[in-house]
Structure 1
Amino acid sequence: MIQIKFGTDGWRGRIADDYTFANVRRCAEGYARYILTTPKAGESSQPSVVIGYDRRFQSENFAAAAAEVLAGHGLKVWLTDGATPTPVIAFAVSAKRAIGAINITASHNPPQDNGFKVRNHTGGAIAPDGLAQIEAAIPASDAEVKRLDFDKALSQGLIERFDPSVEYIANLERLVDLRAIAHAGLKVLVDPMWGNGAGWLPRLIGGAKTEVVEIHSARNPIFPEMTRPEPIPPNVNVALARTKEIGANCCCITDGDADRCGFGDECGGFINQLRAYALLALYLLEIRGERGAIVKTLSTTSMLNKLGERYGVPVYETGVGFKYVAPKMTETNAMIGGEESGGYAFRGNVPERDGILANLYFLDLQVRTGKTPTQLIDWLFEKVGPHYYDRVDSLIDLQQREAIQARLRAAQPATIAGLKVVGKDMTDGYKFLFEDGGWLLIRMSGTEPLMRVYCETREASLVEPVLQDGIKIAHGA
């Protein structure tokens, strides 16, 4: 039995290595013990939990194993009737007045992995102190896990399958004019990356004047034509090429569990995650006239700070991960919250990343402005100036992790790629702040054995030199 730790967004492991049925049941036991101690559990005569899953290998069976454990504790389980997007699972928590959720998914990880996400009564991520309590409650052995046979729990009504789409779609219709998008006459290339987002945009905006062309929509746990279902290059290259080939207006992408998203322009170019976040915030502020806080992780764009100043709204910065973003959104009633990985959440929905709603907002932005994606980027830069970004991920030996972090803690460079360093933020990783407003961030992934090096600058030619200097600093060169 391994020690299970929750990273940036839940626990993830290699299927049949550490991600086994026994360890999934141990996780479910820890979550059941934790969730039964929350005030929300005491307010209900029969507290309930939503369980959903993705299209990865054996996900439906891992979900059933978790359901047996919760039923063994007398919890009512609402089990989704098929592979379900993460935001739909999160919304079901509210719709069913549940006290939380378990989601069997490894999101954008490689095909060999699976994962175990947990949510609270809002449908949002559980804060770090709650995750620590769950970890502490996980038993050392599968023998300590309470279980009720799946079929018995089903017959007793402790497990009930349900369709979570109805209430979720009703809320989407309150948030965005689906009919206007459907009748706009757009041509949209959709790539759900073999994942849970398959079929959703055709269902929501297809069937009228707008043509929706969907690729990679079958269930295929090995994720062909990409290394992983993460909505960034090179994984999106096939979709971007197809967008240009068919003359589509844009490309809309969701990751493996549809909580993250990506966008492509009419020329087959990728709109990076920082520009996407700034565009979505500008859409809410300028086109919809909304006002409210913006919550961002320290790894995302400073364009949001400029928009905050321009429109008179506060901007809050957190550590990386929705376990920090979601609680801050709830605390501040934020208009939007998001992170560099392409996950964005919106007021009026749930404090959870929603790739489906983000794609709909991106399409609505085009419909309501009449601008192409490339014109939208120009419009954004007219407001905040040009910004350029990239990220490099490097595999690291976990035994060297502490040595790398020690070097980064001690590093005090006067310049990086010729840019003057004016500050250093160690809230989550090591962020070097430049005099011109740009930055370099180096941090260890919370879900994989990776070192991530990110940067944002005002000059396109400096992106690669900044990233390379960051790698040299980490390795002591």
Structure 2
Amino acid sequence: MAPQRAQSSPTLTPTGPRAAVVLAAGNDDASRALLSQPLGDATVVETAVDNVRRIVDADRIVVVVAAGDRTVRDLLGDDLTYVEQAEACGTGDAALTARAAVLAALGDDAADASVLVAYADTPLLRSQSLRGLMTRHLLTGADLSLLSAVVDAPRATDGRIVRTDGEISAILEPEDRPDVEVDGPTEINVGAYVAAPGLLFDELDAMVADGENRLTELARRVIAHGRRISSYRIYDTDEVRGVNTDAELAEAADVVLKRLFMPKKNTDTKIVFGTGGWRAVIGEGYTLANVRRLCQAIANQVVRQGIETQGVVIGGDRRFLSRESAEAAAEVFAGNNIPVVLLPDDVPTPLVTFAAPHLGSALGIIITSSHNPPEWNGMKVFRADGSLPLDDETDRYQDEANALAVDDVITLDLALARRTGMVTDKVLTEPYVDAIEKIVDVDSVRGSDLRVIVDPMYGTSQLTLGTILNDMRVRSEFIHAAHNPLFGGIAPAPDLQRLSTLITMIEQGGGRYDLGMATDGDSDRIGIVDETGEYITTNDLLLLLFWYLHEVRGEKGGVVRNLATTHLLDRLAAHFGEESYECKVGFKHVTAGMEKIGAVLGGESSGGLTIRGWILGKDGIFACALVVEMLARTGKRISELREMIYEITGRLYTLEANVDSTPEMRVAVPRRLEAEPLTHVGPYPVVSVSHLDGTKILLENDNWALLRFSGTEPVLRMFVEADSPEKAAELLDWLKGFVTAGV
């Protein structure tokens, strides 16, 4: 009969005094050497002990090392306690060696404490699994608790768990079942234990005295004495892997790499900057607490630089929690004696980009998640000149923010901050519009009789863009202009798939509209639909504007594009005798490239662009105004301009696709690219391969294919450009086949 479940005490809670023993003595020199081998950003033993540190205070962790060993101590540091196992007499003897050190560390808490025993050669055990084991032990009131897992193919050395009426009634070691072949899904003993120190060390003492030195014997003895064992089951069987050979170390390295790309849930709500700021799901990574921590880290940097008197300007878009977040951010900066200009209405991101240099502020901050789905929010930070900070700067922000505790954040109540002048509410719509109208030729548009339809996608552009269009005397009609934090149930990205209403209205308008325009949720990206209802890619729009700026406005200079943007820009630049420059994805790289070569235009195929003399960030509102000016001054429609420019550059056809990138794919695809140097993509010879950002395969005649894992989403992005639509489709199919083969 299985032991009866112990009744938990009404006062039992899943917390209490705890200590840990980590067995790091190894069986021999080879196994000890493996403990110091690199695994991800640390070594095997550091990774294993770090997981224990997350649930047990360092001053109560005892590490058992081999006699005379210094390597493990040097790796782990002086804040842990070390004891030496005199001889390699087994894991039971090693754990017993830690008794005096554990009891000394626990002191008066020993009677109520729980002790975790873990192995240094199982670094893939997650801290959450160890926490689950400890919590299960305390909640169930068991005498001994262990980790278990169900594996499809148990190893010959695995102990098999037997249950009776759901309770563990036996653990069968290989010698207990010499004639039984274990096959199929089997529950095994993983080999981490929790028990009260009295039971643990008394049983180990008796066990070793009986000549049994294996720690796995502990559970069998507890069962034999009629005591109750509970278990916490691991479902990620990668955690079961030990590191006892070079081959197992290589497999563990793959697991560590794969985990880097797994979606983080409630176990990790760290602030991580991508190519366009910090973004996260609301209620998970995006919380007001994280907003405050990030603002405190940024405020710290402002103070270090001695520029706090310049202040900061803060705004928010129309997303859920944006207004509350902007006010929370203002309280943090004011609390750090940094004056704040708080923009009172929902505002476009480019207005904040403009506001920083306009006001002479140290930084501009906008609460937005750009074109992400409505369940996301985030933050973008701009330097004093309106440019995005580069990676080393955002790394400093995020690292410091993640290290801050809630109590480290300094705030000043918003009402008091307003009364004392530390927070000033200011509307900057007019200065922003006036600045645009100094660059865009408003007078040349008046009298053109243009009629446009605009889809702001429930975002923030209608006030500013509407004002500019009115000043131009352009007849404009706005759709989807209401304040809707759900954005109509879609991601507010101005691409072909999400502009169906705009396209349909133009197609059914009977020639009523000369142009359709769209901006994304925070108004820094543009989408264009021509007078026939055809969606115009940003690749084509950049071509049109580069030609217009150079040939009609007479603004000489080159062009900057990211590596996922059309090479027709290079052809047009060569035709003009100008320079073209390729950069990584991220608009901060575009503006840096523009400064480097003195470019007149910079842009990305995803919908962002700016020109020389305007802000150092993408601006969908300015771009819309410039397109309207282009139509008015040339007297041509978009379709006519495209055909005229194709006569200069020829045609290339672009396609793109995204596939969900599994963690396995993140590991396998780069490895295959390294192992199999490409000579052909299908029948087409490879000219060269660039690893500037992802893998870009360059073919003849400006044809190319790009594989790039997104820095902000679990997505692999694929782009191709080719001489014909058929060839582009062929290249894209080849990429899809390549990335999914063997994954």
- So what's the TM-score if we normalise by structure 1? 0.95
Deviation at 1:411, TM superposition (A): 4.5
Deviation at 1:209, TM superposition (A): 5.2
Question: C-alpha separation between the residues in 1 aligned to 2:498 and 2:730?
Answer: 24
Can you list the C-alpha shifts for 1:207-258, whole angstroms capped at 9, x where unaligned? 775310110111111122x631111121112111112222311111111101
Amino acid at match of 2:285: D
Change (3 A) 1:406 1:52: farther
**Aligned twin of 1:166:** 430
Residues 365-404 of structure 1 mapped to structure 2, 5 A cutoff: 365-398=630-663, 400-404=665-669
Question: Which structure's relative contact order is higher, taking Cα pairs within 8 Å and 6+ residues apart?
Answer: 1
Deviation at 1:389, TM superposition (A): 1.1
Identity score, percent: 33
Deviation at 1:25, TM superposition (A): 0.9
Comparing 327-336 with 303-312, greater Cα deviation is found at 327-336
Change (3 A) 1:195 1:410: farther
Can you list the C-alpha shifts for 1:289-334, whole angstroms capped at 9, x where unaligned? 1012322111111111112211122222111001212233334443
Question: C-alpha separation between the residues in 1 aligned to 2:741 and 2:467?
Answer: 52
**Aligned twin of 1:15:** 282
Deviation at 1:420, TM superposition (A): 2.3
Pair 1:422 & 2:687 matched: yes
Amino acid at match of 1:214: F
**Aligned twin of 1:230:** 493
Residues 4-83 of structure 1 mapped to structure 2, 5 A cutoff: 4-38=271-305, 41-42=306-307, 46-83=309-346
Instruction: Give the total of aligned pairs.
Output: 472
Structure 1 unmatched runs, 5+: none
**3-state SS, counterpart of residue 497 of structure 2:** coil
**3-state SS, counterpart of residue 98 of structure 1:** coil
Match among 144, 148, 173 for residue 412 of structure 2: 148
Change (3 A) 1:411 1:217: farther
Change (3 A) 1:408 1:229: farther
Pair 1:103 & 2:366 matched: yes
Change (3 A) 1:410 1:73: farther
**3-state SS, counterpart of residue 455 of structure 1:** strand
**3-state SS, counterpart of residue 199 of structure 1:** helix
Question: C-alpha separation between the residues in 1 aligned to 2:452 and 2:594?
Answer: 31
Deviation at 1:63, TM superposition (A): 1.0
**3-state SS, counterpart of residue 36 of structure 1:** helix
**Aligned twin of 1:294:** 559
Comparing 435-444 with 175-184, greater Cα deviation is found at 175-184
Pair 1:123 & 2:390 matched: no
Change (3 A) 1:210 1:320: same
Change (3 A) 1:222 1:162: same
Asked whether the equivalents of residues 665 and 739 of structure 2 are also in contact (C-alpha less than 8 Å), the reply is: no
Deviation at 1:399, TM superposition (A): 5.5
**3-state SS, counterpart of residue 393 of structure 2:** helix
**Aligned twin of 2:464:** 200
Deviation at 1:453, TM superposition (A): 0.6
**3-state SS, counterpart of residue 358 of structure 1:** helix
Asked whether the equivalents of residues 318 and 483 of structure 2 are also in contact (C-alpha less than 8 Å), the reply is: yes
Residues 76-95 of structure 1 mapped to structure 2, 5 A cutoff: 76-95=339-358
Asked whether the equivalents of residues 190 and 201 of structure 1 are also in contact (C-alpha less than 8 Å), the reply is: no
Question: C-alpha separation between the residues in 2 aligned to 1:286 and 1:183?
Answer: 23
Match among 441, 448, 454 for residue 190 of structure 1: 454
Asked whether the equivalents of residues 192 and 255 of structure 1 are also in contact (C-alpha less than 8 Å), the reply is: yes
Question: C-alpha separation between the residues in 1 aligned to 2:719 and 2:676?
Answer: 17
Asked whether the equivalents of residues 345 and 351 of structure 1 are also in contact (C-alpha less than 8 Å), the reply is: yes
Question: C-alpha separation between the residues in 2 aligned to 1:286 and 1:116?
Answer: 38
**Aligned twin of 1:211:** 475
Residues 178-327 of structure 1 mapped to structure 2, 5 A cutoff: 178-206=442-470, 210-224=474-488, 227-246=490-509, 247-327=512-592
Can you list the C-alpha shifts for 1:336-386, whole angstroms capped at 9, x where unaligned? 211121100111111110111111111111111111111111012111111
Comparing 255-264 with 443-452, greater Cα deviation is found at 443-452
Asked whether the equivalents of residues 409 and 430 of structure 1 are also in contact (C-alpha less than 8 Å), the reply is: no
**3-state SS, counterpart of residue 206 of structure 1:** helix
**3-state SS, counterpart of residue 382 of structure 1:** helix
Asked whether the equivalents of residues 411 and 473 of structure 1 are also in contact (C-alpha less than 8 Å), the reply is: no
Deviation at 1:474, TM superposition (A): 1.8
Question: C-alpha separation between the residues in 2 aligned to 1:249 and 1:418?
Answer: 43
Structure 2 unmatched runs, 5+: 1-267
**Aligned twin of 2:105:** none
Deviation at 1:409, TM superposition (A): 4.1
Deviation at 1:430, TM superposition (A): 0.7
**3-state SS, counterpart of residue 718 of structure 2:** strand
Change (3 A) 1:215 1:182: farther
**Aligned twin of 1:175:** 439
**Aligned twin of 1:2:** 269
Asked whether the equivalents of residues 564 and 604 of structure 2 are also in contact (C-alpha less than 8 Å), the reply is: yes
**3-state SS, counterpart of residue 189 of structure 1:** strand
- So what's the TM-score if we normalise by structure 2? 0.62
Comparing 191-200 with 206-215, greater Cα deviation is found at 206-215
Question: C-alpha separation between the residues in 1 aligned to 2:447 and 2:718?
Answer: 42
**3-state SS, counterpart of residue 234 of structure 1:** helix
**3-state SS, counterpart of residue 393 of structure 1:** strand
Can you list the C-alpha shifts for 1:245-284, whole angstroms capped at 9, x where unaligned? 2231111111110111010111111101111111111111
**3-state SS, counterpart of residue 346 of structure 2:** coil
